[in-house]
Amino acid sequence: MDGDGKCRKRTQLSLPAVCLLSILSLNSLSSISNTATLFIYAAATASSLSPPPPPADKEVLLNLKSFLLQNNPIHRGLYSVWNASDPSHCHWPGISCNSHGHADGIDLHDSSISGGIFPNFSLLPALARLDLSSNTLSGPIPPDLSQCRRLRYLNLSHNLIGGRIPPEYGRISTLQLLDLSFNRLSGGIPPQVGYLTSLLWLMLANNELAGEIPPEIGNCSSLLWLNLANNRLTGGIPTEIYRGISYIQSLDISVNNFSGEFPDSLNGLSYLNKFNVSFNPFLRGIIPASGQIATFDSSSFIGDPLISFSISSLQNSSPPMPAAVPLFLFGIICWIFLCLKARSRSATHHFLNSYQDSTFPREESLAMDQLISSPPASLNPPSSAVFSGQHLLLRMNKMAAFTYPDIVAATLNFSADKLIGCGGYGEVYAGVLPDGRPVAIKKLKSGGAEGERAFRAEVETLGGGHPNLVALHGWCLVGSKKLLVYEYMPGGSLEDVIKDRHGFTWEQRVAAAVAVARALVYLHHECTPAVVHRDVKASNVMMDASGAVKLTDLGLARVVAEGRSHVSTVVAGTVGYVAPEYGQTWKATTKGDVYSFGVLVMELAMGRRAVEDGGEEGVVEWRGRVGEDGVMQVAAEEGWWEAAGKEVMRKLLWVGMVCTAEAPHRRPDMREVLKLMVNFVEEQPNK
C-alpha cells in the first residue's frame, strides 16, 4: 500500500536492492534491530496505557443484576431471570432495545428494589428511558445519570431518595420527562433546570424542597406539566412561567409557602386547563373577571385567605367561594394539619389525591372538564411512554409502540388522499402502522380551550376501554399538536347504511341500537362522574369488519360533577339530534343524550335520516305529524318489512317516541332504555 492508501501490485526486489542489503554492516543491522525492538515495545506500552473499550450492554445489565441482587437478597424482581447464557439481552423482562440491539429502555418500576441507585447507567450509550419508580430506593441521586446524553424519560418517583437534585442534570439536553416526586429530596430547585429546553414534564411534588422557584425555569419553553406541590418553597411565583412557558397545560404549586402578589400574567396562559395554588396562605391578590385563570373555580384556591374573586369570577365559579372568614379558618386549619403531617408520605399522598391534580398516576384515566378536580391520568406520563425526537407519543395499551414519524408515514404526511372524515374539532386520516395495524388518526384543530377539552374528552373516555366505544391506541401531544390514534373501523358508519332498508336488516338495526345503548349506559352510569356525550348521531356510530357497532367522537363530551344534574355549556351537537331544552337552558344532561338516542332509533326504524338533505322537518317532527299509523302506512306502501319486520318497527318507534319526550323528566334513563331493548330482543322469535 502506498502513501495515498491505494494498493499496488507486489514486486520482487531487484538485484541492486539485494546487493545494497548485502553490503550493510553488522552495526547497521544491529541498529535496525534495536530500533524495531524499541518500536514494538513503545507500541505495546501505548496499548497498555489506552483505556479499555466500554463494556457491552449485556455486561452492564448483568452488573446491574448483581448490584440489585446484592441489595435485595430476599425480594427479587424480574431482573433475577436475566441470564448470561441468553443469546440476547433484548428479550429480558424490563429491557427494550433499539434497532441496533443497544439497550435503550429499562423499566423496573414496582420491583421491590431497595438500597442505592446503580451508579453506572451511563455505560449504556443508547439509554433513553429509565423507570425505577414505586420502589424503596434510598440515598442520593447519582450524578452518573447526567452522563446519559440520550436520556429522555427518567422516573424515580415514589421512593425514599434523599439529598439534593444534582445540578449536573441540566446537561441532559434530551430530557423530556423528569419525575422525582414522592421522595425526600431537600435543598432547592437548581437553576440549571433552565437548560432542559426539551422538557415536557417536570414533577417534583411531595418532597422537602425549599427556596424559590428559579426564574430560569422560564427557559423550559416546551414544558406542558409543572408539579411542585407539597414542598417548602417560598418567595413569589415567577413571571417567567408566563413569559417562557406559553404552552403549559397543568400547573400545581399547592401546599407551599409562596407569598407576594398573585401574578396577573398567569392569566395569559391560554392552554392552561389544570391549575392549583391551594394552601399558600401568604399569597394575595384578586382573581380577574376574565382570562384563563377566571375559568377556574374556588377549588383551585382553597386555603388562600388573602386571595379574593371579582364578582364576575364568583358568578362563574362552581361551587361558589365560601365566605371569607370560614374560608380563612378552613384554610388555616388544613394548612396547619398539612404542615404537621407533611412528612407522612401516606397521609399526604392520600390527602392530595382527594382534591388535586398533583400525583400524576401511572395508568390512563382522565376527567374531561374543569368541573372535575381529580387528576387526569390519561394526560399524565405513563410507564409506556415512547419518546421519539421532538415528538412524544403515548400508547394506551400493551400493543407494540409507535412513534410520531410512524404516524406521519402512515398518513403520507397527512395527505388529502388519506383523509376519510372531517369533524368540528379536526380531521380523520386512515393509515397503517409499521406492525400492520390499520388505524384512524384524528388530527385535532388548535382550538384553544374547546380544542383542548375535546382532546381530553376523547383520551379519557376512549382510553377507559369499553367494547362499544372505539378503542384508543394512543395519542400524541407536543405544544399545540394533538393527535389521537384509534382503531380503524372499516365497516363505515350507520349513516352510510341507515337508508339501506333491505341490505341493513332488522336484526342488524336492533343490534346497533342495543350496542349504542350499552355505550351510553357506560358513559352515564358506569363512569364516575357521569359523562354526557352531547353528539350521539348515526355518523358517530361506527362498525368494524365483523359488523360490531361502536360509538365514537367524544370531542363534545362533558363531565357532570358529582352532586349535580347537568353541566352548563354552549349549545352543541347536530341539527336534528339536539334536545329542545339545550337551546333554552344551555344545560347538557344525560337526558339530552337519551333524546339523541331516541332520534337514532327512529332513524333505524324508518330508514330515514334525522333531517333529510334539503329538508327542514326531522324524523321526530314527521312522526309527530303523521302519527304511528301514518308512519306504518308509508312503510307498507314502500314495502320494506318482511315477516316480523312490522312488529320490530313498531317497537323501535315506540322506544324512539319515549326517548324523545319533550320534557326531559318524562324520558327514561339509559339503563331503563337498555332494559327495554334487551327485553325487546329476547321477545323476537328469530333472534
Report how far residue 384's alpha carbon sits from residue 377's, in angstroms, rounded to the nearest whole number. Answer: 13
C-beta of residue 132 within 8 angstroms of C-beta of residue 108: yes
Which among 150, 101, 109, 159 has a CA at the least distance from the CA of 132?
Answer: 109
**DSSP state, residue 292:** S
Locus of grid cell 378552613: 330
Q: In the structure grid, which three cell numbers stand for residue 215, read together?
A: 426564574
C-beta of residue 194 within 8 angstroms of C-beta of residue 213: no
User: In a 10 Å sphere around its CB, with 0-12 CB exposed, 13-18 middle and 19+ buried, how is residue 627 labelled?
Assistant: exposed
C-beta of residue 379 within 8 angstroms of C-beta of residue 453: no
* DSSP helix/strand/coil, 586: coil
Amino acid identity at 619: V
Locus of grid cell 421512593: 159
- Stated as kind and residue range, the H or E segment containing 627 is helix 619-638
Report how far residue 299's alpha carbon sits from residue 632's, in angstroms, rounded to the nearest whole number. Answer: 55
Report how far residue 289's alpha carbon sits from residue 343's, in angstroms, rounded to the nearest whole number. Answer: 37
Enumerate long-range contacts of 429-436, CB under 8 Å, 24 or more apart: 430/488, 431/407, 433/400, 433/402, 433/406, 434/402, 434/406, 434/409, 435/399, 435/400, 435/402
Active-site pick, 104, 535, 553, 593: 535
**DSSP state, residue 97:** E
Task: Determine whether 535 is an active site residue.
Answer: yes
587 is in an annotated binding site: no
Report how far residue 213's alpha carbon sits from residue 538's, in angstroms, rounded to the nearest whole number. Answer: 51
Q: In the structure grid, which three cell numbers stand for residue 667, read together?
A: 324520558
Report how far residue 163's alpha carbon sits from residue 138's, in angstroms, rounded to the nearest whole number. Answer: 10
Report how far residue 171's alpha carbon sits from residue 129's, in angstroms, rounded to the nearest whole number. Answer: 16
Packing angle between helix 506-521 and helix 645-659, nearest 10 degrees? 30
Beta strands 95-97 and 103-107, pairing class: antiparallel
User: In a 10 Å sphere around its CB, with 0-12 CB exposed, 13-18 middle and 19+ buried, how is residue 525 labelled?
Assistant: middle
Which among 549, 634, 632, 635 has a CA at the least distance from the CA of 597?
Answer: 549
Q: ∠ at Cα 473 (471, 476), nearest 5°?
A: 130
To the nearest 10°, report the CA torsion of 672, 677, 678, 681.
Answer: 160
What's the sign of the alpha-carbon dihedral 450, 522, 550, 667? negative
**DSSP state, residue 658:** H
Beta strands 114-115 and 282-287, pairing class: unpaired
Report how far residue 243's alpha carbon sits from residue 218's, in angstroms, rounded to the nearest whole number. Answer: 7
By annotation, the residues acting in catalysis are: 535
In the annotated binding site for ATP, the residues are 443
